[in-house]
Amino acid sequence: QMWLYGLCLVGGGLSLLYALSRWLIPALAQYNGSLALLWNDTILERALDLLTRSSRPQRMLAHVKRHAARGDPQSVIDAIDYFCRHKEWAMNVGDEKGTILDSVVCEVSPGAVLELGTYCGYSTMRIARLLAPGARLITLEFNPANAAVARQVIAWAGLEHKVQLVEGSSGDLIPQMREKFGIDSFDLVFLDHWKDWYLPDTRLMEELGLLHKGSVLLADNVICPGAPEYLAYVRSSPRYDSRYFKSHLEYTYVEDGLEKSVFPGASAGSRP
Ligand SMILES: C[S@@+](CC[C@H](N)C(=O)[O-])C[C@H]1O[C@@H](n2cnc3c(N)ncnc32)[C@H](O)[C@@H]1O
Ligand SMILES: [Mg+2]
Pocket-testing residue among 194, 205, 256, ligand 1, by greatest number of atoms within 8 A of Cβ: 194
Which residues sit opposite 163 in a β-bridge?
A: 137
Pocket-testing residue among 37, 55, 142, ligand 1, by greatest number of atoms within 8 A of Cβ: 142
Q: Which sign does the torsion angle of CA 220, 189, 80, 130 carry?
A: positive
- Which pLDDT value is given to residue 62? 98
C-alpha R_g of the chain: 21
Whether residue 128 sits in one domain with residue 27: no
Active site annotation includes 41:
no
The CATH number that applies at residue 169 is: 3.40.50.150
Active site annotation includes 184:
no
Nearest C-alpha neighbor of 55 from the set 122, 148, 194: 148
| Model confidence at 183: pLDDT above 80 | yes
13-66: per-residue pLDDT in tens?
Answer: 888 777 767 778 888 889 899 999 999 999 999 999 999 999 999 999 999 999
Question: Residue 18 falls within a domain, yes or no?
Answer: yes
Nearest C-alpha neighbor of 116 from the set 17, 52, 56, 197: 197
Question: Residue 269 falls within a domain, yes or no?
Answer: no
- Which pLDDT value is given to residue 271? 40
Question: Residue 172 falls within a domain, yes or no?
Answer: yes
Q: Which amino acid is at 130?
A: L
Distance from residue 194's CA to the centre of ligand 1 (Å): 6
- Which pLDDT value is given to residue 15? 80
Query: Which residue has the least CA distance to atom 27 on ligand 1?
Result: 119
Check if the beta carbon of residue 220 is closer than 8 Å to that of residue 97.
yes
Q: How many CA atoms lie within 13 A of 5 on its CB side?
A: 2
Helix axis angle, 228-236 relative to 198-207, nearest 10°?
40
Whether residue 132 sits in one domain with residue 241: yes
Average pLDDT of every residue of the chain = 94
Distance from residue 192's CA to the centre of ligand 2 (Å): 5
Sequence-distant (≥ 6) Cβ neighbours of residue 121 within 8 angstroms: 139, 149, 150, 151, 153, 154, 157, 163, 165
Please give the Cα distance from 247 to 100 (Å, whole number): 9
Q: From edge to edge, which strands make up the β-sheet containing 211-219? A: 163-167, 136-141, 112-116, 186-191, 211-219, 255-263, 241-248
- Which pLDDT value is given to residue 28? 85
Question: Residue 74 falls within a domain, yes or no?
Answer: no
Whether residue 227 sits in one domain with residue 108: yes
Question: Residue 81 falls within a domain, yes or no?
Answer: no
- Which pLDDT value is given to residue 269? 40
Q: Which of 195, 241, 256, 259 is catalytic?
A: 195
Give alpha helix (H) positions in the chain: 2-19, 25-29, 33-36, 44-52, 56-67, 73-86, 94-108, 122-128, 144-156, 170-173, 177-181, 198-207, 228-236
Whether residue 222 sits in one domain with residue 167: yes
Whether residue 49 sits in one domain with residue 100: no
Q: Where does residue 227 fall: left (phi above 0), alpha (psi -120 to 50 degrees), or beta otherwise?
A: beta
Query: Which residue has the least CA distance to atom 17 on ligand 1?
Result: 193
Whether residue 18 sits in one domain with residue 131: no
Query: Which residue has the least CA distance to atom 26 on ligand 1?
Result: 119
Q: Which of 40, 92, 146, 221 is catalytic?
A: 221
Three-state DSSP at 59 gives helix
Check if the beta carbon of residue 141 is closer than 8 Å to that of residue 117.
yes
Ligand that comes closest to the CA of residue 166: 1
Whether residue 101 sits in one domain with residue 25: no
Active site annotation includes 220:
yes
- Which pLDDT value is given to residue 231? 98
Pocket-testing residue among 118, 123, 165, 203, ligand 1, by greatest number of atoms within 8 A of Cβ: 118
Whether residue 172 sits in one domain with residue 41: no
Sequence-distant (≥ 6) Cβ neighbours of residue 210 within 8 angstroms: 114, 174, 177, 178, 183, 185, 186
- Which pLDDT value is given to residue 78? 98
Distance from residue 190's CA to the centre of ligand 2 (Å): 10
Question: Residue 136 falls within a domain, yes or no?
Answer: yes
Question: Residue 205 falls within a domain, yes or no?
Answer: yes
Whether residue 102 sits in one domain with residue 24: no
Distance from residue 138's CA to the centre of ligand 1 (Å): 13
Does the complex come out with an ipTM higher than 0.85? yes
Nearest C-alpha neighbor of 174 from the set 211, 127, 214: 211
Give alpha helix (H) positions in 53-176: 56-67, 73-86, 94-108, 122-128, 144-156, 170-173
241-270: per-residue pLDDT in tens?
Answer: 999 999 999 999 999 999 999 998 544 443
Question: How many independent structural domains does the chain possess?
Answer: 2
Question: Residue 139 falls within a domain, yes or no?
Answer: yes
20-24, 79-83, 106-110: lowest mean pLDDT where?
Answer: 20-24
| Model confidence at 165: pLDDT above 70 | yes
Pocket of ligand 1 (CB under 6 A): 91-93, 117, 119, 122-123, 140-143, 146, 169-170, 192-194, 197
Q: What is the DSSP letter of 208?
A: T
Whether residue 35 sits in one domain with residue 108: no
Whether residue 233 sits in one domain with residue 131: yes
What range does the domain containing 137 cover? 95-263
Please give the Cα distance from 123 to 191 (Å, whole number): 11
Nearest C-alpha neighbor of 272 from the set 243, 245, 247: 243
Whether residue 48 sits in one domain with residue 128: no
